[in-house]
Structure 1
Amino acid sequence: MLTIEDIREARACIAGTLSATPILTEPNFSSTLAQRVLLKCELFQNTGSFKPRGGLNWIGTASDAELRRGLGAVSAGNHALGLAWAAQSAGVDVTIVMPEGASEFKVQGSRELGAEVILHGDINDAWALMHRLVEERGLTLVHPYDDLRIIAGQGTVGLEILEQAPEAATIVCPVGGGGLLAGIGVAARALRPDIRIIGVEPEGAASMQAAWAHQGPYRLNSVETHAKSLGAAIVGEHTYALCRHHVDALVTVSEAGILQATQHLLTQTKLFAEPGAAVGIAALLENRLPDPLPAGDIVVVITGGNMGLDELTTLLLC
């Protein structure tokens, strides 16, 4: 299992390339709640999300044999961007399979970073094709979330939160496949055993909640959500085990809540966040967080801001 030392080593691996992202006060909620709400702004990270942390740690710890074969991955978009950027800096070829409904902004961005991007079916179809490509081309699979090196890199977010927000009592984190939540859970629980850790999923893509209910990863037949970056149909063996051990609660939010939260971040907080990054705010708007929360700051992770103008227009018209 992953340890705090693994996350510290990941931080040392990426520190020369990636900088810490800021934590900002969310003034609207902080003025109406009895607690201060802080936003961990991962949308300001290189490539626009937290994903380069894991990608860079994976590249930095990979063997020559793993890199020589070229890399393969499945992604709704942010892992593609983060891995393509990390691979480009190392001169490594990468092939990404994305669902056909993936963001054109993320598809084009990944191609501009040198990745071969293949659009294929839904997320389950994309995984089936990638497994075939791994066999046919001999690619090294870099799982978007169920890889301990990836999780360790994402866990560096947790280290930063505890340093930047020493009064943090609750961390609220979006959940797709669970890599970020798992990494934050390991880091935060090791350094602050009393802290409350809450994962937030869209109602139409609640794959971690399904795993908890079935006592192991459980594949959803389909995912339906505006929060495409959280559209994992199944969580990983590692992410399930780590989240089950370290996370206090999971909650879900509605599609209407996700749209409202995205618009809130755009217009009230002035953050260009994508829908998947807004689910923690949706949980506050819809009063979904467990009550009562411990006294202290609530830190909401804003995971990314990769959204094209066409997507923005659609959101504003909803």
Structure 2
Amino acid sequence: MITLEHLQQAQARIADTLSPTPLVLDHALSDQLERRVWLKGELFQRTGAFKPRGALNWLRTARPEELAGGLGAVSAGNHALGLAWAARDAAVPVTIVMPENASPFKVAGSRALGAEVILHGDINEAWALMHRLVEERGLTLVHPYDDERIIAGQGTVGLEILEQAPEASVILCPIGGGGLIGGIGLAVAALRPSLTLIGVEPAGAASMAHAWSRGGPVRLERVTTCAKSLAAALVGEHTYPLSRAHVHALAAVDEAAIHRAMRHLLYQAKLAAEPGAAVGVAALLEDTVALPPAGDIVVVITGGNLGREELEDFL
């Protein structure tokens, strides 16, 4: 069972390589809401997203037999980049299966880091292929979110927020498969339980809300969103109970709201974030979340990996 101690150990384990990311004050949104809104800049992390935290923690706790046959993963892109980067220094081969509609920017970046990238079907078909490759090639699957070592690494984001934002009363965090918010929730529950944690999903990929309504992880038959980094069709056996234990509320934002949030981040906050990173800001702009009456607001900006042709859709 993952605990605060695992998060703290992960923080110490990766600290020599991964630096804390800054909190950036969103002046325009702070003026609009008449309280300080801080953006946790995970787009400034290595490979442009929070994912190297979990990947590096996983690699540095891996047993030799887990590495012997190489690693495999399914990813919309950010996990692929983080794992390929972490594995390159360890000289461990990585095979990634991405959906066919994956970001060309992330595909190229993962290949540049040495990963074998296979484009295949939608997210559900990508998973089916990876499971076959694990059997055929003897790969060790490194799950993008439903792994305790991955969750512990991502939870270091929460430890940093609590250190950096002592006056925060609420954190808004994007949800894909739930690994990041699961780790942040552990940190919050242990160190500042009075703080409110809200998860935000794209309406077309609300897999955590679907799990909450069904009493456990249930696969979405169809996922449709511009926020590809959040396009997990199924939340995890670890991440679901963590969310139920520590997440106070869920919110969903539609595609138009994500587009408005992207433009806000680009033109007002001056951050070139990706769509999946914009959903927390979208929830604030659309007033879709019930906030505590006072205190600072922290929004996790999970990544900034998108190419020019993708960025043009939001200009």
TM-score by structure 2 length? 0.99
Q: Could you give the per-residue CA deviations for residues 188-244 of structure 1, whole angstroms, max 9, x where no partner exists?
A: 110001000000000000000000000100100010000000000000010001011
| Aligned equivalent of 1:84 | 84
| Aligned equivalent of 1:178 | 178
Q: Give the letter aligned to residue 100 of structure 2.
A: E
| Aligned equivalent of 1:305 | 304
CA distance in 1 between partners of 2:292 and 2:194 (Å): 12
Secondary structure at 1:117 match in 2:
strand
Secondary structure at 2:264 match in 1:
helix
Q: Does residue 40 of the first structure (1) align with residue 40 of the second (2)?
A: yes
CA distance in 1 between partners of 2:34 and 2:305 (Å): 32
CA distance in 2 between partners of 1:194 and 1:314 (Å): 39
Q: Map of 1:1-318 to 2, 5 A cutoff?
A: 1-290=1-290, 292-316=291-315
Secondary structure at 2:298 match in 1:
strand
Q: Give the letter aligned to residue 233 of structure 1.
A: A
Structure 1 residue ranges (4+ consecutive) displaced by more than 4 angstroms after TM superposition: none
CA distance in 2 between partners of 1:4 and 1:123 (Å): 31
Give the stretch that moved more between structures: 70-79 or 259-268: 259-268
User: What displacement does 1:263 show?
Assistant: 1.1
User: What displacement does 1:314 show?
Assistant: 2.1
CA distance in 2 between partners of 1:133 and 1:157 (Å): 32
CA distance in 2 between partners of 1:169 and 1:177 (Å): 24
Secondary structure at 1:136 match in 2:
helix
Secondary structure at 1:237 match in 2:
coil
Q: Could you give the per-residue CA deviations for residues 271-299 of structure 1, whole angstroms, max 9, x where no partner exists?
A: 01000000000001110112x42421000
CA distance in 2 between partners of 1:314 and 1:35 (Å): 31
CA distance in 2 between partners of 1:34 and 1:245 (Å): 30
Q: Which runs of 5+ in 1 are unaligned?
A: none
CA distance in 2 between partners of 1:32 and 1:173 (Å): 20
Give the number of aligned pairs.
315
CA distance in 2 between partners of 1:195 and 1:189 (Å): 8
Q: Give the letter aligned to residue 150 of structure 2.
A: I
CA distance in 1 between partners of 2:176 and 2:59 (Å): 22
CA distance in 2 between partners of 1:2 and 1:161 (Å): 19
Secondary structure at 1:171 match in 2:
strand
User: What displacement does 1:25 show?
Assistant: 0.7
CA distance in 1 between partners of 2:189 and 2:36 (Å): 21
CA distance in 2 between partners of 1:265 and 1:72 (Å): 33
Q: Give the letter aligned to residue 128 of structure 1.
A: A
The alignment's C-alpha RMSD in Å is 0.7
CA distance in 2 between partners of 1:106 and 1:99 (Å): 12
Q: Could you give the per-residue CA deviations for residues 88-142 of structure 1, whole angstroms, max 9, x where no partner exists?
A: 0111000000000000000000000000000000000000000000000010000
How many percent identity over aligned positions? 69
Q: Give the letter aligned to residue 103 of structure 2.
A: S
Paired residues of 1:258 and 1:282 also in contact (CA < 8 A): yes
Q: Give the letter aligned to residue 40 of structure 2.
A: K
Q: Could you give the per-residue CA deviations for residues 122-178 of structure 1, whole angstroms, max 9, x where no partner exists?
A: 000000000000000010000000000000000000000000111110000000000
CA distance in 1 between partners of 2:58 and 2:69 (Å): 15
CA distance in 2 between partners of 1:236 and 1:186 (Å): 16
User: What displacement does 1:35 show?
Assistant: 1.9
Secondary structure at 2:155 match in 1:
helix
User: What displacement does 1:312 show?
Assistant: 0.7
Paired residues of 1:170 and 1:294 also in contact (CA < 8 A): no
Secondary structure at 2:169 match in 1:
strand
CA distance in 2 between partners of 1:201 and 1:281 (Å): 11
CA distance in 2 between partners of 1:269 and 1:315 (Å): 15
